[in-house]
Amino acid sequence: MTEIDPRRRFTAMYDAHYARVYAYAVSRAGRQLADDIVSETFLVAWRRLADAPDVPLPWLLGIARNVVRERYRAEVRQVSIAEEMRAWTDDAEDDVADAVVDRAVTLAALGRLSDDDRELLTLIAWHGLSPREAARVVGCSTATYFVRLHRARKRLQQALQQAPQQALSTGAQAARPARITFPSEEFSR
């Protein structure tokens, strides 16, 4: 049995999975950073090509996940992710006003979730991975993934239920003028 040329193996892996790794990078860090993340992911994959499994997509997404976590602070990722979620929202709704409200409520609810919860939910819903593949990406067993996914879904449901109430209270606060206080020394003249 002859061993496959490493360059050919890597090229085949790259051609087969580039788009999915790119989509994952966009969903985790935004389009502006996705190219860098994908480049770094495939650099790591090249260096560790001997470790690549027969089905490399979950392995590649796991590498991409680590690149994102090592490279960017949580605040920068949160802003980019929120922008991408807005861009990915389905525009095929019948009532534009309802679609805007639903989108805003959903984005607000997703924004209140932790980064880990958002990732658990989007690996299956947006990236089309099976639970087994998603479990490999986050580095846990399939059973553990199901437990985490169940909890993340419950937290999303709670956030969705709270979203309209918080939007109303935020709107009420915004409508009320802010009270400005000054130090007493400025008025002692």
Digit-by-digit pLDDT tens for the chain (189 residues) are 456 799 999 999 999 999 999 999 999 888 988 999 999 999 999 999 999 999 999 999 999 999 988 876 555 546 666 666 666 654 444 566 676 777 778 778 878 888 888 888 888 887 888 888 899 999 999 899 999 998 998 998 888 888 665 554 554 343 333 333 333 333 343
62 shares a domain with 97 = no
The CATH number given to whatever domain includes residue 54 is: 1.10.1740
Are 38 and 17 spatial neighbours (Cβ–Cβ below 8 Å)? no
Q: What is the pLDDT of residues 18-32, one digit of tens each?
A: 999 999 999 988 898
103 shares a domain with 78 = no
Determine the pLDDT at residue 176: 35
Alpha-carbon distance of 130 to 142, in angstroms, equals: 10
Q: Would you tell me how many other CB atoms lie within 10 Å of the CB of residue 136?
A: 21
- CA-based angle 2:3:8, to the nearest 5? 125
Determine the pLDDT at residue 108: 80
Determine the pLDDT at residue 96: 64
162 shares a domain with 98 = yes
- The token pair at 162 is 């709270």
Q: How many domains does the chain have?
A: 2
135 shares a domain with 76 = no
Determine the pLDDT at residue 59: 96
163 shares a domain with 133 = yes
Classify residue 9 by burial, with Cβ atoms within 10 Å: 0-12, 13-18, 19+: middle
Determine the pLDDT at residue 35: 93
98 shares a domain with 144 = yes
Determine the pLDDT at residue 165: 59
137 shares a domain with 59 = no
Are 170 and 111 spatial neighbours (Cβ–Cβ below 8 Å)? no
Boundary-marking domain end, from 55, 88, 121: 88
CA terminus-to-terminus distance, the chain? 94
Reported pTM: 0.51
Q: Residue 21: give the domain boundaries.
A: 1-88
Asked if residue 108 is part of any domain, the answer here is: yes
Boundary-marking domain end, from 35, 66, 88: 88
Asked if residue 185 is part of any domain, the answer here is: no
Asked if residue 65 is part of any domain, the answer here is: yes
